[in-house]
Amino acid sequence: MMLNGEFYQRDDVVLIARELLGKELVTRIGGRITSGIINETEAYNGVVDRASHAFGGKRTPRNEQMYAAGGNAYVYLCYGIHHLFNVVTNVAGIPHAVLIRSIIPQQGIDTMRTRRATPGKPTTTGPGTLTQALAIRTTHNGVSLGGPTIMIRDAGIALPPKRIMSGPRIGVDYAGPDALLPYRFHFHPDTLS
DNA sequence: ATACCGATTAACT
DNA sequence: GTTAATCGGTATA
């Protein structure tokens, strides 16, 4: 059910990004449980990836969590506004991470709508909006993904490889040749029953 | 101490 | 399609 170190601490972050599709991300924050099925991810391949915060072995107070053992959260602020949620992978010392870009709402949909407070706009599509819907903030940087605050579990959803699409990552044009790598994975919400 | 910029979003034209 | 919003991280001094 709940994903564990065996899942997170593997070496292939691109494979993990693909396998996180269809898993359920759950938070229990502010006394409310909210969750959604992950349907878009991006892999960030550590020191050799120009798009990664840890490219070249860079280590700062912000990205320190990327160097922790796989299975916890790396949350940081982008554009001064948006809290972006990443899953740390690989063993301690190897700074791999997977950015969660979109979920399909499951539990606590009313709560998520209230938190978003922007009717007519997607409630959980986009890395900044899903964190708002789930109430994930930079204060959750470093928390375990085994709960009790944030959890990722296998909801038993089978995704045929045919439904999974891949392509270049979003907003990383500055990364030169690495901007073209097919490290983004997603599937269309309609293909989920 | 100061300046520049970003793994984005929403509200515009 | 364009652009303002908004502030921590990082580099430079």
pLDDT one-digit tens code per residue, A118-158: 888 889 999 999 999 999 999 999 999 998 999 999 999 99
DSSP A67: G
The whole-number Å distance from A39's CA to B13's C1' is 32
Instruction: Give residue A193's pLDDT.
Output: 63
First to last CA, chain A: 20
Give A115 CA → C6 C1' in Å.
19
Please tell me the distance from the alpha carbon of residue A178 to that of residue A180, in angstroms, as a whole number: 5
Q: Which nucleotides of B are covered by protein (CB under 7 A)?
A: 6-11
In whole angstroms, how large is the CA radius of gyration of chain A?
15
* pLDDT score recorded for residue A191: 79
Question: What b/e sequence results for A55-65 when a residue is b if at least 16 CB atoms lie within 10 Å of its CB, and e otherwise?
Answer: beeeeeeebeb
Closest nucleotide to A53, Cα to C1' = B7
Quick check: A140 CB within 7 A of strand C?
Answer: no
Cis peptide bond upstream of A148, omega within 30: yes
Contact A66, A53 (CB under 8 A): yes
- A191 in helix, strand or coil? helix
User: What gap in Å lies between CA A132 and CA A89, rounded to an integer?
Assistant: 23
pTM given for the model: 0.95
**Nucleotide lying nearest to A58, CA to C1' measure:** C10
A163: its two tokens: 């439904």
Strand B proximity list, CB < 7 Å: A 42, 44, 51-53, 66, 74, 77-82, 84, 86, 97, 99, 116, 118, 121-122, 126-129, 169-172, 174
Identify the segments of chain A with pLDDT beneath 50.
Answer: none
**In A90-188, which ranges are E strands?**
96-105, 150-153, 165-167, 184-186
